[in-house]
Amino acid sequence: MSIIPSFFGGRRIDPFSLEIWDPFQDFPFSTSLTGPRSEFSGETSAFANTRIDWKETPEAHVFKADLPGLKKEEVKVEVEEGKVLQISGERSKEKEEKNDQWHRVERSSGKFLRQFRLPENAKVDQVKAAMDNGVLIVTIPKEEMKKPEVKAIEISG
């Protein structure tokens, strides 16, 4: 018997589990986690939530994504109309042999898709991408923004 009250509809939650838990799964309406997600709707894994850092330097916008175990051929970097950067890919599930006995599966597989609306100063025609030790680095140079010319107005009176 647990001394912790059950707030989760009788479900026992493993605090060390890496599974995605949808707190709204028993509600009668659709949520972002339970609703359709285009071609990626069948995949619910931690890999679907690929973490990506975005920093801006004086020269460029730099995106870094941790994609361990993926080859550059398994990742797609695209810039759509309207300056939208799209990073997608897929990690295949490991083949199961009939005699294999799995004790724990924590490494995730499946598709991922992340999109970022780029600012006006991004030079989308000069995007560069590279993979280094499982880290995807996308560099988008910035246009030099002209500082508005300030004209002093003399105050009369």
Structural domain includes residue 18: no
**Six-digit token string for 66:** 């941790």
As for how many domains the chain has, the answer is 1
Assign 140 a pLDDT band (cuts: 50, 70, 90).
Answer: very high
What does the DSSP assignment read for 5-63? ---STTPPP-TT--S---TTTTSSS--TTTS--GGGTT--SGGGG--EEEEE-SSEEEE
CATH number at residue 134: 2.60.40.790
39 pLDDT higher than 60: no
Instruction: Determine the structural domain holding residue 78 and report its residue range.
Output: 52-93+109-141
Q: Is residue 21 part of a domain?
A: no
Q: What is the pLDDT of residue 91?
A: 82
Answer yes or no: is 20 within a domain: no
CB 73 within 8 A of CB 91: no
Residue 115 has pLDDT above 70, yes or no: yes
Gyration radius of the chain's alpha carbons: 23
In a domain, 38, yes or no: no
Provide mean pLDDT across the span 39-62. 72
Confidence of residue 27 (pLDDT cuts 50, 70, 90): low
Q: Do the domain assignments include residue 44?
A: no
Position 126 in a domain: yes
Check pLDDT > 80 for residue 105. Answer: no
The distance of Cα 27 from the centroid of its chain, to the nearest Å, equals 26
Residue 84 lies in a domain: yes
| pLDDT at res. 110 | 83
Q: Is the pLDDT of residue 113 over 80?
A: yes
